[in-house]
A = this chain, B = another copy of it.
Amino acid sequence: MTIPADLPPRVQIRDVGPRDGLQPEEPVPVADRIRLIDALIAAGLPSIEIAAFVSPRAVPAMAGAAEVVAGVPARPGLVRTALVPNARGAQMAIDAGADEITVTLSASETYNQRNVKMSLAESEASIAEIVGLADDARVPVDAVISCAFGSPYEGEIAPVDVADLAGRLVDAGTTSITYADTTGMATPRRIHEVLDAVAPLGLGRGDAGQPGLHLHDTRGTALVNAYAALQHGVHRFDTSVGGLGGSPFAHGAGGNLATESLVAMLDDLGIQTGIAIGALIEAAAIIESLVGRPVPSGVAHHGPRSQAHRSRS
């Protein structure tokens, strides 16, 4: 065995930094958020979660969502994603011109209730309503299942229960499913178990039908979990530039897998992303300046290994 075999030749990364990364932070002005998004576009990110159409009272950091979308014009090869909590938010995102909608619900009933103040059944009904609106507008809906690899409340979440929930979301018409390790409980074994469980779902053809992963680094396992997922054939990942992020409602949640950490590893493995690591690290420096403290990503500070000896000069 030399280089790991059977890895996907290309990976699609959605940077959630402008949304998931900045959401728990002190509010950043719309113009600065657009500057960050522009830096990510310049680095070659094909997909960026740029806004959340949530109540500005509940989440002040996400205020001005329509202005953000308006400030990032549509362009070929770029998917501008907006998170929405309900049908009202979905209609606002559609009216603003978002290219994709993300919705979240949890594989953990308790986490769902604490995070969005709805039962899981209520969340599913809400998502069905959102899908109806999005279908009319021909906007794809990605459902992000949080706590898919374990819950800080219930502990284990059976992979079959995750697959059953994903199956109901597919039946409800969601375009794709992303499995989120909200509080960093995934391990290589759990990654394989959940991916095995959801493999029969068959969400249609093409990239949209493939499971996506959204990994958090609470226990330092985000990158190894991504590697295990690559070996399982996953080629769709949510990451956050600089490694910021994590729900303020999740006990013990750490930051997201840093975009530059994943890209550096993929570059070294010869897996294509279309992303330029140097420009990406410049975007990490921007988000670091916006939040006013060092981001938790080693690659952001030390550069990729390929530049280790250059950084001495």
Provide a sorted-by-A list of 5 A–B residue pairs whose CB atoms are within 8 angstroms.
A2-B192, A150-B305, A184-B298, A219-B264, A221-B223
Nearest chain-B residue to A267 (Cβ)?
Answer: B187
Contact A312–B189 (Cβ < 8 Å): no
Contact A187 B269 (CB under 8 A): yes
Interface residues of A in 154-196 (CB under 8 A from B): 154-155, 183-190, 192-193, 196
Docked-complex contact A1 and B220, CB < 8 angstroms: no
Question: Would B218 and A187 count as touching, CB distance under 8 A?
Answer: no
Number of copies: 2
List 19 other contacts, CB 8 Å, given A2-B192, A151-B308: A1-B232, A4-B188, A4-B189, A4-B231, A151-B309, A152-B309, A152-B311, A152-B312, A154-B309, A155-B308, A187-B305, A188-B269, A189-B268, A218-B302, A219-B302, A220-B258, A221-B223, A223-B223, A251-B311
Check B2 against A268 for contact (C-beta < 8 Å). no
Instruction: Pick the residue among B218, B224, B258, B261 that contacts A298 (CB under 8 A).
Output: B218
Is A297 at the interface (CB under 8 A from chain B)? yes
Query: In the assembled complex, how far is the CB of residue A279 from the closest CB belonging to chain B, in whole angstroms?
Result: 18
Tell me, yes or no, whether A254 is within 8 Å of chain B by CB.
Answer: yes
Residues of B within 8 A of A93 (CB): none
Instruction: Mark A225-260 against chain B: 1 for CB-CB distance below 8 A, else 0.
Output: 011100110000000000000000001101000100
Interface status of A217 (Cβ within 8 A of chain B) = yes
Q: Do A190 and B228 touch across chains, with their CB atoms under 8 A apart?
A: no
A287-309 at interface with B (beta carbon < 8 Å): 297-299, 302, 304-305, 308-309
**A3 CB–B CB distance under 8 Å:** yes
Tell whether A208 is near chain B: CB-to-CB under 8 Å. no
Q: Are A150 and B308 in contact (CB under 8 A)?
A: yes
Nearest-neighbour CB distance to chain B for A240, whole angstroms, equals 13
Residues A152 and B224 in contact in the complex (CB < 8 Å), given A187-B269, A261-B219, A265-B187: no
User: Given that A152-B308, A155-B308, A309-B151 are contacting pairs, would A187 and B268 also be in contact in the complex, using a CB cutoff of 8 Å?
Assistant: yes
Chain B positions within 8 Å of A228 at CB level: 4, 227
Residue of B nearest to A233 (CB): B1
Supposing A187-B268, A187-B305, A268-B190 touch, asked if A298 and B152 sit within 8 A by C-beta, the answer is no
Chain B min CB distance to A256 (Å) = 12
One of B4, B150, B298, B299 near A192 (C-beta < 8 A): B4
Chain B residues closer than 8 Å to A269, beta-carbon distance: 187-189
